Structure 1
Amino acid sequence: MSLFDLRLSEVHNRLHHKDLSVSELVDASFKRIGETDERIGSFLTLNEEAARLEARKLDDNASAERGILYGLPVGVKDNMVTEGLRTTCASQFLSNYNPIYDGTAVSKLREAQSVIIGKLNMDEFAMGGSNENSAFKVTRNPWDLSRVPGGSSGGSAAAVAAGQVYYALGSDTGGSIRQPAAYCGVVGLKPTYGLVSRYGLVAFASSLDQIGPITKNVEDAAVVLQAIAGHDQRDSTSANVEIPDYLSQLTGDVKGLRIGVPKEYLGEGIDPQVKQRVMEALKQFESLGAVWEEISLPHTDYAIATYYLLASSEASSNLARFDGVRYGVRAENPDNLIDLYRRSRSEGFGPEVKRRIMLGTYALSSGYYDAYYKKAQQVRTLIKQDFDQAFEKYDIIVGPTAPTVAFPIGAQVGDPLTMYLNDICTIPVSLAGVPAISVPCGLADGMPVGLQIIGKPFDEATVLRAAHAYEESTDHHKLRAAL
């Protein structure tokens, strides 16, 4: 068994009993990256010198209080600012950006004394579902190097699946933690909107973006969420709610748990093998004492159009700050200020980012605001009401994370509408702002399938309890990519 197959708690015990040192863990991480990343392409920037120095300091400070994340190698998606460590959002526009501060989630990992190994590849400004929109390289799925790892947190999911780091942080706007976790056979948790601070996360769509963990198992996801959740005064959308002890909720007991299964998530467009794996998972829940029945979330069909209008509108507004004046790459020898704006943005942004800026600017423009943006906000309310009504009767909602397994690299990059449809199962959850986790539930055509478990707002405890009970009763999470 590889060191990177161990649970975080098991590694913690070895460190505590001095069977391992932090330096050995960090060395193992960089060794694994050296062996595999030329093929996978998970990392954009490595933090090797600083990480080894931090490891030696932790080893020398034997009297320090050691939480479970102490000394563990972690990767961070490259849209979270890290002091002194390049943060590019996988965009040429920020290829020279070195932040002078840490985002809140990153600073909480440093407080927990995890060691940041490097920054992970992603779709540019988190816009994409395959990791093919990075300005620097394409990340490949460790299960099959000819396939995508999912996006936009594809680098994060691939790094965990390949055993390069123990866990990673991703961000989820319309499914960008859960979908790559499903494609790469790992666990991805999108918390309730507002549970984890967005301070220091480069904004794509501010009413949807949320940071969360990508791990090898549910227990590890609970540990990482415990570390990064909580109110932050620097984030006006941060929720001031009590944070429970998530680990203590992993009891394995789901007897009497009421599960709703939306018929819209298992209908047309869902691969038959994916549907079969989900039905097998529901039978497993039945054997554990849970009960389920089919329900309807009637406004699901409108979710994709609603999401892309709202997310693109917010992206248009958020990305207006990238003008070649304040930070980032600047066009050389412009004729005037307008030419500086035009050329800097033309040269700095990739095709998918430009597409969404144009769509968002159109939706927000005079004469179209009421017809598109305002209407999309109204439909978003209806989608949220679908979930509210379902949760009056059910404890969790279960379905597939993605309609298919990971598709071949290049198969959909020229067809944005087909690419957008891959998020049909994850986008409604993001629009409603509720928590959801993707856990492995078997294979289809030799590739991982993700089971999505959705919960009530700020009820991550129940989501984790259900996911953990299912995981512990199966062996799907033990499967590893055969690199």
Structure 2
Amino acid sequence: MADQGLVQATACAIVDKLNSGGVTPLDLLDVLEARIAEVDGKVNALPTLCFDRARAHARELMKKPAGARGLLAGLPIPIKDLTAVAGVLTTQGSPIYKDAIPARSDLLVEHLEENGAVIYAKSNTPEFGAGANTFNEVFGATRNPWDLSRSAAGSSGGAAAALATGTAWLAHGSDMGGSLRNPASFCGVVGMRPSIGRVAHTPVAKIDRNLGVQGPMARNVEDLALLLDAMSGEHPADPLSLPLLPVSFLSAARSGKGPKRVAYSPDLGITPVDPEVAAITRKAAMRFAEAGAIVEEAHPDLRGAHECFHVLRAFDFAISKAALLRDKRDLLKPEVIWNIEEGLKLTVDDLVRAEAQRVAMTARTVEFFKSYDLLLAPATIVAPFPVENRYVAECGGKTFDNYVEWLGIVYAITLVCCPALSLPCGFTATGLPVGLQMVAAPRGETQLLAGAKVLEDILGLRGTTPIDPRPAK
């Protein structure tokens, strides 16, 4: 019988066991299969399993000596259901693709497998990743393991819930408007949006499409850095992709190099925030002083972020999904239809204005980081909300115009090309997790991970996951 105690271990510890021969990839798959059977029915994080494929891959990997199986050494990983895995159902959360089985994996998946990942599941996502609540017509909703009546956020909600319940040690996700950061915040794990090009992927619809990026999720900063190492590197099929850095992200996370000066903002100057969330994140940010850092309240000038993101996101939906609107409109959810139609209404002048706003905001942000090592803010403006709410419609007396506007605190950071992560930083009075968004200058992942690990050590919340799913309070 596989040792279920392994569920509690860190990914770094599991990789050490794999490399020493203390455990095999097949053992880990047995552990996961049993854990999924025990808990996933309550949260619906991993609706598609591919254990036969995983075991076949694991057996091939085990033909190599233990030290020659790549960075991940045979560690199992789930892939978000937006991303193609050869021979595995890949629905994108849409009835249009409810039976789609791609012949070839995304190059991101191929790269992970070359680095020793074993793919055993697809994690749930909203339709086409649209919206920060993970539900769809194919598989239903993913529930928050801390309170099953609450949302796991999204769009990498399945990945976050899997980590929080111990059905994954590491997980892949993607992020356009906070889709790695929001669910990490709601589920008490760590999710990181890397810089543009840090993680190569197969281009779709547009070569230089860069609002969305692929990235890692984990239960702690070191594990996150390990997965980012395994995901990173350039590939000729993705012309934006960046070469590997000379120093690993894991060694950067372990460096102990904390920031000298950090900025905290409860709202980035652009959004209402729930007072309890603001208080919890502020308290956590101020604890950087214990590592000798100066903490000040400041943020870059991000005016224009809402208009800019609305236009550029709509354009992205138009170029990637206009054909679906034309041919399969009856199978699309209302929010996706709205987003595509908004894109099709755009003029060249609209795009010129939005791109100019993005350039100006990014320049101001780069200038801001000449004074500060890190920028801190809430990762989400509210605590986990009821799962039946499609999105947050109101906060602090402000009613939002559409289903994405409540995400301004994360999509503003998307627009200015910065790496950012959500770090668990505390709990509400009712015991729901809150995430602190930590941001570094463009391509500043090493500084970001080092600082995040320093604060993680101070906060002492590492090890709060995995948990068994908890009924509604």
Q: CA RMSD in A?
A: 2.4
Alignment of 1:48-87 (within 5 A): 48-59=51-62, 61-62=64-65, 65-87=68-90
1:187·1:217 contact (CA, 8 Å) conserved in 2? yes
2:425·2:436 contact (CA, 8 Å) conserved in 1? yes
Quick one: percent identity of the two aligned structures? 30
2:332 aligned to which of 349, 352, 356 = 349
Q: Displacement of 1:90 after TM fit?
A: 0.8
Cα distance 1:268–1:141, how it changes in 2: closer, same or farther (>3 A)? same
1:232 aligns with 2:235: yes
1:45 aligns with 2:23: no
2:130·2:335 contact (CA, 8 Å) conserved in 1? yes
Any idea what SS the aligned residue of 1:356 has? Answer: helix
Structure 1: distance between partners of 2:98 and 2:408: 32
Provide, for residues 374-397 of structure 1, a one-character-per-residue CA deviation record: whole Å limited to 9, x for no partner. 222222222212311211111111
1:190·1:437 contact (CA, 8 Å) conserved in 2? yes
1:263·1:295 contact (CA, 8 Å) conserved in 2? no
2:84·2:102 contact (CA, 8 Å) conserved in 1? yes
Q: Displacement of 1:346 after TM fit?
A: 1.6
- Cross-structure match for 1:91: 94
Q: What TM-score results when the alignment is normalised by the length of structure 1?
A: 0.89
Tell me whether 142-151 or 408-417 shows the greater mean CA deviation: 408-417
Cα distance 1:155–1:132, how it changes in 2: closer, same or farther (>3 A)? same
2:375 aligned to which of 372, 397, 414 = 397
Alignment of 1:414-429 (within 5 A): 415=393, 417=401, 419-429=403-413
Structure 2: distance between partners of 1:307 and 1:27: 44
Structure 1: distance between partners of 2:208 and 2:332: 17
Q: Counterpart of 1:78 in structure 2: which amino acid?
A: D
Structure 2: distance between partners of 1:361 and 1:86: 30
Q: Which blocks of at least 5 consecutive residues in structure 2 are unaligned?
A: 394-399
Alignment of 1:181-330 (within 5 A): 181-199=184-202, 206-240=209-243, 242=245, 244-251=247-254, 253-254=256-257, 257-262=260-265, 264-265=267-268, 269-300=272-303, 302-322=304-324
- Cross-structure match for 2:426: 442
Q: Counterpart of 2:209 in structure 1: which amino acid?
A: S
- Cross-structure match for 2:161: 158
Structure 1: distance between partners of 2:8 and 2:382: 26
- Cross-structure match for 1:379: 357
1:254·1:288 contact (CA, 8 Å) conserved in 2? no
Structure 2: distance between partners of 1:293 and 1:414: 29
Structure 1: distance between partners of 2:217 and 2:434: 16
Structure 2: distance between partners of 1:453 and 1:434: 10
Q: Counterpart of 2:148 in structure 1: which amino acid?
A: L
Q: Displacement of 1:263 after TM fit?
A: 5.6
Structure 2: distance between partners of 1:182 and 1:63: 35
Q: Counterpart of 2:275 in structure 1: which amino acid?
A: P
Cα distance 1:2–1:306, how it changes in 2: closer, same or farther (>3 A)? farther
Structure 1: distance between partners of 2:239 and 2:344: 25
2:124·2:159 contact (CA, 8 Å) conserved in 1? yes
Tell me whether 240-249 or 214-223 shows the greater mean CA deviation: 240-249
Q: Counterpart of 1:429 in structure 2: which amino acid?
A: I
Any idea what SS the aligned residue of 1:417 has? Answer: coil
Cα distance 1:467–1:134, how it changes in 2: closer, same or farther (>3 A)? farther
Any idea what SS the aligned residue of 1:440 has? Answer: strand
1:15 aligns with 2:3: no
1:185·1:477 contact (CA, 8 Å) conserved in 2? no
Q: Counterpart of 1:458 in structure 2: which amino acid?
A: R
Any idea what SS the aligned residue of 1:182 has? Answer: helix
Q: Displacement of 1:221 after TM fit?
A: 0.9
Q: Displacement of 1:475 after TM fit?
A: 2.2
Q: Counterpart of 1:402 in structure 2: which amino acid?
A: T
Q: Counterpart of 1:435 in structure 2: which amino acid?
A: P
1:148·1:407 contact (CA, 8 Å) conserved in 2? yes
2:172·2:217 contact (CA, 8 Å) conserved in 1? yes
Cα distance 1:266–1:471, how it changes in 2: closer, same or farther (>3 A)? farther
Q: What TM-score results when the alignment is normalised by the length of structure 2?
A: 0.90
Q: Displacement of 1:409 after TM fit?
A: 1.3
Q: Displacement of 1:77 after TM fit?
A: 0.3
Q: Counterpart of 1:287 in structure 2: which amino acid?
A: E
Q: Which blocks of at least 5 consecutive residues in structure 1 are unaligned?
A: 324-341
Q: Counterpart of 2:426 in structure 1: which amino acid?
A: G
- Cross-structure match for 1:432: 416
Q: Counterpart of 1:354 in structure 2: which amino acid?
A: I
- Cross-structure match for 1:115: 118
- Cross-structure match for 1:358: 341
Structure 2: distance between partners of 1:413 and 1:400: 18
Q: Counterpart of 2:288 in structure 1: which amino acid?
A: F
Structure 2: distance between partners of 1:294 and 1:434: 19
1:128 aligned to which of 102, 123, 131 = 131
Any idea what SS the aligned residue of 2:288 has? Answer: helix
Tell me whether 452-461 or 65-74 shows the greater mean CA deviation: 65-74
Structure 1: distance between partners of 2:106 and 2:244: 20
Runs of 4+ that moved beyond 4 A: 59-64, 200-205, 412-416
1:469 aligns with 2:471: no
Tell me whether 347-356 or 48-57 shows the greater mean CA deviation: 48-57
Structure 2: distance between partners of 1:385 and 1:158: 36
Structure 2: distance between partners of 1:410 and 1:110: 36
Any idea what SS the aligned residue of 2:105 has? Answer: coil
Q: Counterpart of 1:53 in structure 2: which amino acid?
A: A
Provide, for residues 23-72 of structure 1, a one-character-per-residue CA deviation record: whole Å limited to 9, x for no partner. 12101111111112221111232102111223344445445614441121
Structure 2: distance between partners of 1:94 and 1:115: 24
Cα distance 1:47–1:305, how it changes in 2: closer, same or farther (>3 A)? same
Provide, for residues 434-478 of structure 1, a one-character-per-residue CA deviation record: whole Å limited to 9, x for no partner. 101111001013111101110111110000000011112222232
Tell me whether 32-41 or 345-354 shows the greater mean CA deviation: 345-354
Tell me whether 36-45 or 212-221 shows the greater mean CA deviation: 36-45
- Cross-structure match for 2:441: 456
Cα distance 1:78–1:268, how it changes in 2: closer, same or farther (>3 A)? closer
Cα distance 1:16–1:63, how it changes in 2: closer, same or farther (>3 A)? closer
Structure 2: distance between partners of 1:63 and 1:138: 39
Q: Counterpart of 2:464 in structure 1: which amino acid?
A: L
